[in-house]
Amino acid sequence: DQQVKQNSPSLSVQEGRISILNCDYTNSMFDYFLWYKKYPAEGPTFLISISSIKDKNEDGRFTVFLNKSAKHLSLHIVPSQPGDSAVYFCAARDGNKLVFGAGTILRVKS
Amino acid sequence: EAGVAQSPRYKIIEKRQSVAFWCNPISGHATLYWYQQILGQGPKLLIQFQNNGVVDDSQLPKDRFSAERLKGVDSTLKIQPAKLEDSAVYLCASSLDSRYEQYFGPGTRLTVT
Protein backbone atom coordinates (compact mmCIF):
# COMPACT_ATOMS: atom_id res chain seq x y z
CA ASP A 1 0.00 0.00 0.00
CA GLN A 2 1.86 3.05 -1.29
CA GLN A 3 0.79 6.02 0.78
CA VAL A 4 3.17 8.40 -1.01
CA LYS A 5 3.46 8.20 -4.78
CA GLN A 6 5.78 9.87 -7.23
CA ASN A 7 4.33 8.84 -10.55
CA SER A 8 7.08 10.21 -12.77
CA PRO A 9 10.21 8.03 -12.56
CA SER A 10 12.25 10.64 -14.44
CA LEU A 11 12.18 14.20 -15.72
CA SER A 12 14.48 15.98 -18.16
CA VAL A 13 14.69 19.79 -18.22
CA GLN A 14 16.83 22.35 -20.01
CA GLU A 15 19.13 24.49 -17.88
CA GLY A 16 17.46 27.77 -16.89
CA ARG A 17 13.93 26.38 -17.21
CA ILE A 18 11.54 25.37 -14.44
CA SER A 19 11.56 21.83 -13.03
CA ILE A 20 8.31 20.62 -11.49
CA LEU A 21 8.33 17.41 -9.47
CA ASN A 22 5.03 15.99 -8.28
CA CYS A 23 3.93 13.86 -5.36
CA ASP A 24 0.53 12.43 -4.36
CA TYR A 25 -0.46 10.97 -1.01
CA THR A 26 -3.41 9.07 0.38
CA ASN A 27 -3.17 9.45 4.16
CA SER A 28 -4.96 12.58 5.39
CA MET A 29 -3.21 12.22 8.77
CA PHE A 30 0.14 13.32 7.34
CA ASP A 31 1.01 16.62 9.04
CA TYR A 32 4.34 17.54 7.48
CA PHE A 33 5.90 17.02 4.07
CA LEU A 34 9.54 17.07 3.04
CA TRP A 35 11.64 16.86 -0.09
CA TYR A 36 15.01 15.14 -0.05
CA LYS A 37 17.66 15.20 -2.76
CA LYS A 38 20.02 12.29 -3.37
CA TYR A 39 23.23 12.11 -5.40
CA PRO A 40 24.72 8.72 -6.39
CA ALA A 41 26.61 6.94 -3.59
CA GLU A 42 25.41 9.48 -1.03
CA GLY A 43 22.56 9.50 1.45
CA PRO A 44 19.49 11.70 0.93
CA THR A 45 19.87 15.31 2.06
CA PHE A 46 17.03 17.49 3.30
CA LEU A 47 15.96 20.15 0.81
CA ILE A 48 12.73 21.86 1.86
CA SER A 49 9.60 21.13 3.87
CA ILE A 50 6.04 22.35 4.41
CA SER A 51 3.56 22.00 7.22
CA SER A 52 0.07 20.76 6.40
CA ILE A 53 -1.36 24.10 7.61
CA LYS A 54 0.42 25.99 4.83
CA ASP A 55 0.07 25.89 1.07
CA LYS A 56 3.44 27.27 0.01
CA ASN A 57 6.99 27.46 1.27
CA GLU A 58 9.86 29.07 -0.57
CA ASP A 59 13.64 28.83 -0.14
CA GLY A 60 15.72 30.46 -2.82
CA ARG A 61 15.21 28.63 -6.10
CA PHE A 62 13.05 25.98 -4.43
CA THR A 63 9.32 26.29 -3.74
CA VAL A 64 7.00 23.60 -2.44
CA PHE A 65 3.25 23.84 -2.99
CA LEU A 66 0.69 21.82 -1.03
CA ASN A 67 -2.89 21.20 -2.18
CA LYS A 68 -4.55 19.38 0.73
CA SER A 69 -7.90 18.90 -0.97
CA ALA A 70 -6.19 17.12 -3.85
CA LYS A 71 -3.64 15.41 -1.56
CA HIS A 72 -0.94 16.67 -3.87
CA LEU A 73 2.34 18.50 -3.45
CA SER A 74 4.89 19.73 -5.92
CA LEU A 75 8.45 21.01 -5.88
CA HIS A 76 9.37 23.83 -8.26
CA ILE A 77 12.99 24.58 -9.06
CA VAL A 78 13.58 27.87 -10.87
CA PRO A 79 15.91 28.29 -12.63
CA SER A 80 17.13 24.71 -12.96
CA GLN A 81 20.88 24.16 -12.92
CA PRO A 82 22.97 21.14 -14.00
CA GLY A 83 23.96 20.60 -10.34
CA ASP A 84 20.29 19.97 -9.56
CA SER A 85 20.51 16.66 -11.42
CA ALA A 86 19.75 14.06 -8.74
CA VAL A 87 17.01 11.81 -7.40
CA TYR A 88 14.30 13.71 -5.53
CA PHE A 89 12.25 11.96 -2.84
CA CYS A 90 8.99 13.22 -1.45
CA ALA A 91 8.34 12.21 2.17
CA ALA A 92 5.40 12.62 4.52
CA ARG A 93 5.36 12.49 8.30
CA ASP A 94 2.95 10.20 10.12
CA GLY A 95 3.52 10.61 13.85
CA ASN A 96 7.21 9.92 14.41
CA LYS A 97 7.70 8.17 11.09
CA LEU A 98 8.56 9.38 7.56
CA VAL A 99 7.00 7.63 4.58
CA PHE A 100 8.92 8.08 1.33
CA GLY A 101 7.90 8.01 -2.30
CA ALA A 102 9.91 6.03 -4.85
CA GLY A 103 11.73 9.09 -6.15
CA THR A 104 12.02 11.01 -9.42
CA ILE A 105 15.28 11.26 -11.34
CA LEU A 106 15.82 14.84 -12.50
CA ARG A 107 18.26 15.51 -15.34
CA VAL A 108 19.07 19.13 -16.11
CA LYS A 109 20.68 19.49 -19.51
CA SER A 110 23.14 22.31 -20.22
CA GLU B 1 29.99 19.22 12.26
CA ALA B 2 30.62 15.59 11.31
CA GLY B 3 27.79 13.81 9.53
CA VAL B 4 26.33 10.37 10.04
CA ALA B 5 29.00 7.71 9.54
CA GLN B 6 28.29 4.20 8.27
CA SER B 7 30.45 1.19 7.58
CA PRO B 8 31.10 -0.78 5.56
CA ARG B 9 30.11 1.08 2.39
CA TYR B 10 29.74 -2.12 0.36
CA LYS B 11 29.25 -5.75 1.28
CA ILE B 12 28.77 -8.87 -0.81
CA ILE B 13 27.69 -12.09 0.91
CA GLU B 14 26.11 -15.39 -0.02
CA LYS B 15 22.57 -16.25 1.02
CA ARG B 16 22.27 -17.76 4.48
CA GLN B 17 25.37 -15.89 5.67
CA SER B 18 25.30 -13.21 8.36
CA VAL B 19 26.18 -9.53 8.04
CA ALA B 20 26.36 -6.52 10.35
CA PHE B 21 26.26 -2.80 9.63
CA TRP B 22 27.47 -0.04 11.90
CA CYS B 23 26.22 3.52 12.30
CA ASN B 24 27.58 6.48 14.24
CA PRO B 25 25.01 9.32 14.37
CA ILE B 26 25.63 13.05 14.61
CA SER B 27 26.75 13.96 18.11
CA GLY B 28 23.85 14.90 20.34
CA HIS B 29 21.15 13.38 18.14
CA ALA B 30 18.76 11.39 20.30
CA THR B 31 16.85 9.68 17.50
CA LEU B 32 18.41 7.10 15.19
CA TYR B 33 16.77 5.36 12.25
CA TRP B 34 17.62 2.41 10.02
CA TYR B 35 16.07 2.34 6.55
CA GLN B 36 16.12 -0.23 3.77
CA GLN B 37 16.13 1.10 0.21
CA ILE B 38 15.53 -1.47 -2.50
CA LEU B 39 16.47 -0.42 -6.03
CA GLY B 40 13.73 1.70 -7.59
CA GLN B 41 11.95 2.32 -4.29
CA GLY B 42 12.08 4.93 -1.59
CA PRO B 43 13.66 4.31 1.81
CA LYS B 44 11.53 2.15 4.10
CA LEU B 45 11.87 2.52 7.87
CA LEU B 46 13.06 -0.65 9.59
CA ILE B 47 13.57 0.57 13.14
CA GLN B 48 13.65 3.82 15.10
CA PHE B 49 15.48 4.38 18.39
CA GLN B 50 14.98 7.20 20.85
CA ASN B 51 18.23 7.21 22.85
CA ASN B 52 18.70 3.47 23.46
CA GLY B 53 15.01 2.52 23.42
CA VAL B 54 13.05 1.21 20.43
CA VAL B 55 10.22 3.52 19.31
CA ASP B 56 9.07 1.68 16.19
CA ASP B 57 10.19 -1.66 14.78
CA SER B 58 6.91 -2.62 13.13
CA GLN B 59 8.51 -3.14 9.70
CA LEU B 60 11.60 -5.00 10.91
CA PRO B 61 11.60 -8.70 9.88
CA LYS B 62 12.40 -9.86 13.38
CA ASP B 63 12.99 -13.48 12.41
CA ARG B 64 16.22 -12.46 10.68
CA PHE B 65 16.93 -8.79 11.43
CA SER B 66 18.06 -7.36 14.75
CA ALA B 67 19.33 -3.97 15.83
CA GLU B 68 20.71 -2.44 18.96
CA ARG B 69 21.83 0.97 20.13
CA LEU B 70 23.97 0.51 23.17
CA LYS B 71 24.52 3.57 25.37
CA GLY B 72 22.26 5.60 23.09
CA VAL B 73 24.98 6.46 20.57
CA ASP B 74 26.28 3.97 17.97
CA SER B 75 24.01 1.38 16.47
CA THR B 76 24.40 -1.99 14.77
CA LEU B 77 21.97 -3.66 12.37
CA LYS B 78 22.38 -7.40 11.80
CA ILE B 79 20.89 -9.81 9.29
CA GLN B 80 21.07 -13.53 10.05
CA PRO B 81 20.59 -15.45 7.80
CA ALA B 82 20.50 -13.24 4.69
CA LYS B 83 18.15 -13.86 1.79
CA LEU B 84 18.45 -12.75 -1.83
CA GLU B 85 15.65 -10.20 -1.31
CA ASP B 86 17.73 -8.44 1.36
CA SER B 87 19.90 -6.95 -1.40
CA ALA B 88 19.45 -3.21 -0.89
CA VAL B 89 21.09 -0.06 0.44
CA TYR B 90 20.81 0.22 4.21
CA LEU B 91 20.65 3.83 5.33
CA CYS B 92 21.17 5.15 8.82
CA ALA B 93 19.77 8.55 9.78
CA SER B 94 19.70 10.64 12.93
CA SER B 95 17.85 13.67 14.22
CA LEU B 96 17.89 15.85 17.32
CA ASP B 97 14.49 14.47 18.15
CA SER B 98 11.80 12.65 16.21
CA ARG B 99 10.08 15.92 15.17
CA TYR B 100 13.17 17.35 13.48
CA GLU B 101 14.73 16.82 10.05
CA GLN B 102 16.63 13.60 9.58
CA TYR B 103 20.25 13.54 8.44
CA PHE B 104 21.29 10.50 6.45
CA GLY B 105 24.55 8.65 6.20
CA PRO B 106 25.97 7.46 2.84
CA GLY B 107 24.48 3.99 3.25
CA THR B 108 25.78 0.43 2.96
CA ARG B 109 25.08 -1.35 -0.31
CA LEU B 110 24.44 -5.03 0.41
CA THR B 111 24.45 -7.63 -2.36
CA VAL B 112 23.29 -11.14 -1.47
CA THR B 113 24.23 -13.80 -4.06
User: Within its chain, how far is the Cα of A60 from the centroid?
Assistant: 15
Confidence band for B52, pLDDT divided at 50, 70 and 90: confident
Q: Is the pLDDT of residue B69 over 80?
A: yes
Peptide bond connecting A82 to the previous residue in cis, omega within 30 degrees of 0? no
Instruction: Determine the residue among A96, A99, A100, A105 to mutate to test chain B binding: the one whose Cβ has the most chain B Cβ atoms within 10 Å.
Output: A96
CB B104 within 8 A of CB B6: no
Q: For residues B46 and B6, give the distance between their C-alpha atoms in angstroms, rounded to a whole number.
A: 16
pLDDT for residue A2: 81
Contacts for A42 with CB less than 8 Å, ≥ 6 apart = B106, B107
Residue in B43, B44, B104 nearest the CB of A45? B104
Average pLDDT, chain A: 95
Interface of B with A in 60-99 (CB under 8 A): 91, 93, 98-99
pLDDT for residue B1: 65
Confidence band for B104, pLDDT divided at 50, 70 and 90: very high
Q: What is the mean pLDDT of residues B61-82?
A: 95
DSSP structure class, residue B44 = E
Say what percent of chain B tops pLDDT 90.
88
Q: Is the pLDDT of residue A17 over 70?
A: yes
Confidence band for B29, pLDDT divided at 50, 70 and 90: very high
Which chain B residues are closer than 8 Å to A41 by Cβ?
A: 106
Q: Is the pLDDT of residue A1 over 70?
A: no
Q: What is the mean pLDDT of residues B67-88?
A: 95
Q: What is the mean pLDDT of residues A70-94?
A: 97
Contacts for B13 with CB less than 8 Å, ≥ 6 apart = B19, B82, B110, B111, B112, B113
B19: part of which helix (H) or strand (E)?
strand B19-24
What one-letter code names the amino acid at A99?
V
DSSP structure class, residue B101 = P
